[in-house]
Amino acid sequence: MHVPAEDLAAVADAAHAVMREAKAAGVYVFGGGINAAVAPLRVAADGTVTNETWPETKALDGGFCVLQLPSRDAAIQWAAKIAAACRCAQELREFGDDPER
């Protein structure tokens, strides 16, 4: 995301408008931003904690939202709306269902 500082307020307004649209459509589950003021931790299976992220991760910036949608096509359409609002590409992931639910 490479947005000039003077455009950040407009991008935030556009992104919030898309989230309001998702809420009004009843597809919004939850979302939020990454708190850049708090460094990432990695916690191993044995409980060891290190002040780092995965070596493959160069930077984790921005936020995320979880939408409950009827199809992958619908997810792509919402991701496109978010990408247009944020002026940057979005990574689309799918949650797997909890088999014990």
The span from the CA of 43 to the CA of 50, in Å, is 7
pTM above threshold 0.85: no
Report the half-sphere exposure of 6 (CA within 13 A, side-chain side): 0
Q: Which architecture characterizes domain 5-86 according to CATH?
A: 2-Layer Sandwich (3.30)
The residue ranges of every structural domain in the chain are 5-86
Give, for all 101 residues of the chain, the pLDDT tens digit.
Answer: 788 899 999 999 999 999 999 999 999 999 998 888 888 888 999 999 998 887 777 666 678 899 999 999 999 999 999 999 999 899 999 988 888 87
CA nearest to 49, candidates 58, 57, 39: 39
- Count other Cβ atoms within 10 Å, centred on residue 40: 13
**Structure tokens, 52:** 């780092």
Nearest-angstrom CA–CA distance, 3 and 41? 28
